[in-house]
Structure 1
């Protein structure tokens, strides 16, 4: 039974005035002038005003008690999360040498929203154009025979065959258009050689030899943005082995042999298609989430291009042919990003040696001499990367929505227990911030000592120099001498930190466009939208989380714990969470009793690309994984997935009441059926519980998992729409496992992570055949056809 909390008094100012004036004839009948101009009435209104304020404050006592209880439990409100993105800095008109050093902490802006770079980089005087070799399957036999004759001399043995492709430019994403995607693992429809080719281009009108000298031996920062659509992510059971970072791609540069004859000119080499693996100095798992890889370019003598014979350009392992003469004239060198499915790793790297046990991966980069560098990782593990890439570019770094506050004077120590100080800018960013929080206290001789942050001040010993921080409010709290040291009287205290967060950090493509730090001739932009920005948790949300926190204690044990904690994930707008214990999404047809395995289904509240069938993208799933990972048990294998939508077509025939406009009623029925089958607002009507009472309605929380779609349910929904006299018929069509349309069906089975994705049509009279809405059977998957290289000109 729910406890009813009494309201002390809910009377308003007007009610108090009316009740007071009503007592006047009883106690003072001689007082007859009760107009507002009477001084006595003015005194009564003053009394009502003061009483209303007193009642308001009294009624807030329970709220104050709940908030105080929240503070005592140590439940902090989730602060706003910052937006994160990849930016590129280009040297359009600046000097070629030396390269511009951009340290971590450099500020760039999207309007008035500040961002700070998180990884140092050097801006080289080159830009990039990205190409891939797309298999060509539309050649007729005559064309194939013609090119076979043309390129017959390139076959070295009888077992060699020609394969055809066309060079395609991987254009940057653009607002309002679907993101371009190339799958390096797909040699049928993606790339013929599992590679991306990055052409390093000199600035317009620049001397190519001077550009080669400027970039020789320098560090080049390459950004990669994988495709946002991914089936899900998995956190395997934790272990103590932390492998090194493997970006999942091999970075190689063109390595022709020097032309000893001297006839080719500077920067031109000869010989077969050879490539040198570039040494990697910093790496992140760029196939798993947006990230960076920094490589060291070879010396000037090895920055060469091939001098091609007729018909040789673009053949074999040579880079794709560039048909734009203006672009080809600016070409400095080629870098090949080659996909290796057997070594592709996951996670993100920091290059700092810090790591965790959440499935971090890593890799090494070896030069031709056998040397290599091992890099550490910090990440949430995911399913094996698929090789799907949306964007790649050079001179890239990461930017976080934040402002760096260096050496802020916090205050002067008083020597008292539990001293508190408030930082000037809030919220204070935590892990992943460009500038980690540093609090220093000055001792008697003027030496600054760094104190450490701790979650619970009472867990510290008397000699521990620690403090706690409420990131949302910026409140610093020091110990009492028994639990943590006390800053001595007169000691200066200073702090350095990063502050930022909020939905304003969600910036579209090209929104980050200026920086007061960059010199003239340099430009900054974000080629992909930022991600992860979100508002903080409200006080009301924090109050409602008290009972759930007492149940789960910030640890994932029961299904309710998974559900409650997933909903508190910062930086994402969750519309629905479902928890399936002992469920393996990779084996949906088998009996589900997988010990230690939990699957969490998450659906975003909105999806601009698919409003009716929202799907979480890669950043959304990564945020949920990163939030749940430190709270799960070490033996739990956690899968975080989006829904799998089952396409269905629903046709409803109705009869309308007299006086109703059929078209309006039909639209209302279609809207009601669509909402009924929605993954966010759908659901069945109330059902009878075992005790004979009516159970709570499932409507409004999304179509339930494991509940088949039946015509009878849709008929019940359509009948309840105003203006409907009766439902004539309901027909449903669906696709089977082979992609063929089956119509009509008695029901649509929904199992595992599947949810209906409905297309609804409503007509007056009998329901139309839903098979006519499907456009026929689904096209069969393409068959792999060997295709030869197809140059545009011969």
Structure 2
């Protein structure tokens, strides 16, 4: 008998009792709860059915749960790799590191995500300047333990951020600046409209006028969206830079670039952790084998270049796809002198930087690959991976299984196989690609699929009904072409641990490397129970804006923005006095620490674009800012004798109530009238208060109005904030 796995420990009696307790709340008109009532009979029936349902649900195995999740389009998430920003130093001359350069941090391997071009430049000084002051932030930027505001706390128009380079950049050189901001993730939406605009300039020589000055600096790429998010900015220096003195760095002239705030409007003034040059994103992974496909142009003497870490330092194989879809292995030769027009061969040419290019024949001496889309493939593998790439040979039987042994691949898509057959000539092989799938449920008898079981570390093939069977062979013919290790929480490293090079050839360059920030984002594979819980949340999550709650929920989840509060006003359009049945107005408040948080124009446009994709076709959506009304309380309060000096506590209680964000309920409700009775109640709850003798309210703002009874009236999108409250305390003994 299967063990009972209790998903719900409630018994029949518990379920029935819970239902009976809900009767007065849900149906107050139901007063007869005796056994003879037909309604009670129905409750008993459904309580019994619920208990039986829980009984059977407790006996559903994990395999069935996975099938149910698959029917809903869900599956447990695979392990995620952490990412860390590696910064390089001690650069004596320009150098290019290939994509996939391997670095070590406490035994964990990281790889650069792209090619890194390092230039002998470093940041020497950092200066911020506002209307009020100029500050040297060099020490804070170098140490990285104290953040600083790029444009001051107010981020006013014309504020500047100056960055001095230790030497003059070369003309036509691309320089990448990494900007690390406080609490600003760089995983933002592609449709974010910047709230503010900045311009970049460099002090140099104007070629037209031959006069020195601040010249526009072309930004090749700006992933920070005008210093709104952490990211990288790539500059292109097309003019000669000149040294100049910038206060307060007055000791000597330097080569300066300047960022000027042209249009203010930040919800969060940019606060910088670090500014770094010569950086690259590194991912927690260890690639053992990779494939790169290219379009064959059909040209003679074609030179195929592909620069990567394994492409430089690993083993190289070349395959060309035949007309029947199979890949034929070509052989490497030293030269084409002895090659004939039908010889499938290639040579390898090594550049000065170590990159290797593949050269094909001209049709007379060596065959040239035909033209085609993705028909030429380079396979790079680690030199230590030669024996591990062979899984074994196929015996032609269904449901074959092969173990991966020490290859702990964490993600299904990072494992690829080929199954080979001997060719016409001795030593020649023809290969077919096999793709990974989660299960064979959707695989037909001709589908070249395999299933990778991460927990068991094995690969399974089909049975010729669900998934094809690999071709039988007397030699090992199942080969791994793509294999990537790494991932999980072990990649979440602390700063300054990513300091070791894996390869001695790269270590010999004399470059220094470290990670100034944390490595983050590494997660273990999702468990089945966590996946079920995520599914339940996703099913409740709105994806189409129909009700007011839908609009509020979707607006709060706008990618790239932090939204504190949302208020939806149906049948209302700004500027129209009459109700608008087809209109919906959404009022948004950004999440920041200002007294009256105001969204910028870009902020409103970003949310409007996000809602526009999810609204009904006939709905007119407006996204607006709140209208703030300042409320000042004047009160004479009678208190106990020992509390005559405690008016700050009353002022604090009023400020806590009259605030747009925070407090017990998240802030003052939109459009709700500030009644004098609310203020009476807030003051009376303060310890030591006997009663309120006099009280009146003042309101200030564009739409501030008061009723005849002295209450403050708010517009539909109105919020309040505290003014300078004046509270007079009188001892109870003096009345």
Contact 2:130 2:152 in 1 (8 A): no
Q: Secondary structure in 1 aligned to 2:165?
A: strand
Match of 1:715 in 2: 680
Deviation at 1:649, TM superposition (A): 4.8
Deviation at 1:754, TM superposition (A): 3.8
Tell me the distance in 2 between the aligned counterparts of 1:620 and 1:547. 31
Contact 1:170 1:180 in 2 (8 A): no
How do residues 589-604 of structure 1 correspond to structure 2 at under 5 angstroms? 599=586, 601=588
Tell me the distance in 2 between the aligned counterparts of 1:568 and 1:475. 38
Matched, 1:220 2:201: no
Deviation at 1:96, TM superposition (A): 1.4
Match of 2:149 in 1: 179
Report Cα offsets for 1:81-139 as digits up to 9, x if no partner: 988786654x3xx3512436374666586x999986545433322223567896879xx
Tell me the distance in 2 between the aligned counterparts of 1:730 and 1:395. 60
CA gap 1:619/1:469 in 2 versus in 1, 3 angstroms: farther
Report Cα offsets for 1:179-236 as digits up to 9, x if no partner: 232699966x535xxxx6543214xxxxxxxx87xx5664321234689899xx9998
Contact 2:156 2:261 in 1 (8 A): no
CA gap 1:327/1:274 in 2 versus in 1, 3 angstroms: closer
CA gap 1:479/1:283 in 2 versus in 1, 3 angstroms: farther
Match of 1:775 in 2: none
Deviation at 1:7, TM superposition (A): 0.8
Tell me the distance in 1 between the aligned counterparts of 2:532 and 2:211. 69
Q: Secondary structure in 2 aligned to 1:440?
A: strand
Tell me the distance in 2 between the aligned counterparts of 1:623 and 1:479. 48
Report Cα offsets for 1:614-655 as digits up to 9, x if no partner: 899999999999998987789999888997765545566655
Q: Secondary structure in 1 aligned to 2:416?
A: strand
Tell me the distance in 2 between the aligned counterparts of 1:579 and 1:420. 57
Report Cα offsets for 1:39-94 as digits up to 9, x if no partner: xxxxxxxxxxxxxxxx9x979829989977666533457899988786654x3xx3
Matched, 1:126 2:7: no
Contact 1:666 1:763 in 2 (8 A): yes
Q: Secondary structure in 2 aligned to 1:444?
A: strand
Tell me the distance in 2 between the aligned counterparts of 1:421 and 1:631. 45
Tell me the distance in 2 between the aligned counterparts of 1:501 and 1:652. 57
Match of 1:499 in 2: 487
Deviation at 1:765, TM superposition (A): 3.9
CA gap 1:477/1:335 in 2 versus in 1, 3 angstroms: farther
Deviation at 1:291, TM superposition (A): 2.7
Tell me the distance in 1 between the aligned counterparts of 2:92 and 2:652. 61
CA gap 1:217/1:588 in 2 versus in 1, 3 angstroms: same
Identify the match of residue 190 of structure 1 among 159, 180, 190. 159
Contact 2:410 2:485 in 1 (8 A): no
Tell me the distance in 1 between the aligned counterparts of 2:567 and 2:561. 16
Identify the match of residue 99 of structure 1 among 92, 95, 102. 95
TM-score of the pair, normalised by structure 2: 0.51
Identify the match of residue 230 of structure 2 among 290, 296, 309. 290
Tell me the distance in 1 between the aligned counterparts of 2:198 and 2:453. 38
Match of 2:31 in 1: none
Larger radius of gyration: 2
Tell me the distance in 1 between the aligned counterparts of 2:698 and 2:690. 25
How do residues 1-80 of structure 1 correspond to structure 2 at under 5 angstroms? 7-8=10-11, 61=58, 72-75=71-74
Contact 2:267 2:590 in 1 (8 A): no
How do residues 266-345 of structure 1 correspond to structure 2 at under 5 angstroms? 271-273=210-212, 282-284=221-223, 286-287=225-226, 288-297=228-237, 303=240, 305=242, 321=246, 324=249, 326-328=251-253, 331=254, 333-335=255-257
Unaligned stretches of 5+ residues in structure 2 = 1-7, 15-51, 290-387, 422-428, 472-476
Contact 1:86 1:223 in 2 (8 A): no
How do residues 564-713 of structure 1 correspond to structure 2 at under 5 angstroms? 578=567, 599=586, 601=588, 648-650=631-633, 655=638, 662=643, 676-677=657-658, 682=663, 700=665, 702-713=667-678
Contact 2:437 2:451 in 1 (8 A): yes
Tell me the distance in 2 between the aligned counterparts of 1:419 and 1:630. 47
Contact 2:267 2:600 in 1 (8 A): no
Contact 1:167 1:321 in 2 (8 A): no
* Number of residue pairs the alignment of both structures matches: 550
Tell me the distance in 2 between the aligned counterparts of 1:622 and 1:466. 46
Tell me the distance in 1 between the aligned counterparts of 2:516 and 2:622. 31
Tell me the distance in 2 between the aligned counterparts of 1:765 and 1:600. 42
Tell me the distance in 2 between the aligned counterparts of 1:636 and 1:466. 46
Tell me the distance in 2 between the aligned counterparts of 1:254 and 1:672. 57
Q: Which moved more, 1:456-465 or 1:704-713?
A: 456-465
Deviation at 1:274, TM superposition (A): 6.5
Q: Secondary structure in 2 aligned to 1:443?
A: strand
Match of 1:522 in 2: 512
Q: Which moved more, 1:216-225 or 1:169-178?
A: 169-178
CA gap 1:631/1:128 in 2 versus in 1, 3 angstroms: farther
Deviation at 1:749, TM superposition (A): 2.5
Larger RCO (CA under 8 A, 6+ residues apart)? 1
Deviation at 1:438, TM superposition (A): 3.6
Q: Secondary structure in 2 aligned to 1:441?
A: strand
Contact 1:183 1:387 in 2 (8 A): no
Contact 2:203 2:242 in 1 (8 A): no
Contact 1:80 1:570 in 2 (8 A): no
CA gap 1:567/1:635 in 2 versus in 1, 3 angstroms: same
Report Cα offsets for 1:497-551 as digits up to 9, x if no partner: 773579978x8xxx45752239666354648x99999999998987676666446
Contact 1:441 1:450 in 2 (8 A): yes
Unaligned stretches of 5+ residues in structure 1 = 12-54, 138-165, 203-210, 239-246, 259-269, 307-318, 342-382, 429-435, 684-699, 768-794
- CA RMSD after TM alignment: 7.1
Q: Secondary structure in 1 aligned to 2:711?
A: coil
How do residues 250-265 of structure 1 correspond to structure 2 at under 5 angstroms? 254-255=204-205
Deviation at 1:440, TM superposition (A): 1.4
Tell me the distance in 1 between the aligned counterparts of 2:500 and 2:599. 36
Contact 2:179 2:230 in 1 (8 A): yes
Q: Secondary structure in 1 aligned to 2:285?
A: strand
Tell me the distance in 1 between the aligned counterparts of 2:452 and 2:549. 29
Tell me the distance in 1 between the aligned counterparts of 2:468 and 2:713. 67
Q: Which moved more, 1:128-137 or 1:722-731?
A: 128-137
Matched, 1:441 2:322: no
Match of 1:346 in 2: none
TM-score of the pair, normalised by structure 1: 0.48
Tell me the distance in 1 between the aligned counterparts of 2:109 and 2:602. 21
Report Cα offsets for 1:694-720 as digits up to 9, x if no partner: xxxxxx454322223333123234445
CA gap 1:460/1:512 in 2 versus in 1, 3 angstroms: farther
Report Cα offsets for 1:11-57 as digits up to 9, x if no partner: 9xxxxxxxxxxxxxxxxxxxxxxxxxxxxxxxxxxxxxxxxxxx9x9
Q: Which moved more, 1:98-107 or 1:474-483?
A: 474-483
Give 1 or 2: higher strand fraction: 2
Match of 1:395 in 2: 277
How do residues 456-535 of structure 1 correspond to structure 2 at under 5 angstroms? 488=470, 495-496=483-484, 499-500=487-488, 511=495, 514-517=498-501, 522=512, 524=514, 526=516
Contact 2:201 2:258 in 1 (8 A): yes
Tell me the distance in 2 between the aligned counterparts of 1:534 and 1:571. 21
How do residues 103-182 of structure 1 correspond to structure 2 at under 5 angstroms? 103=99, 107=103, 118-128=113-123, 179-181=149-151
Contact 2:409 2:484 in 1 (8 A): no
CA gap 1:718/1:736 in 2 versus in 1, 3 angstroms: same
Tell me the distance in 2 between the aligned counterparts of 1:95 and 1:67. 55
CA gap 1:547/1:423 in 2 versus in 1, 3 angstroms: farther
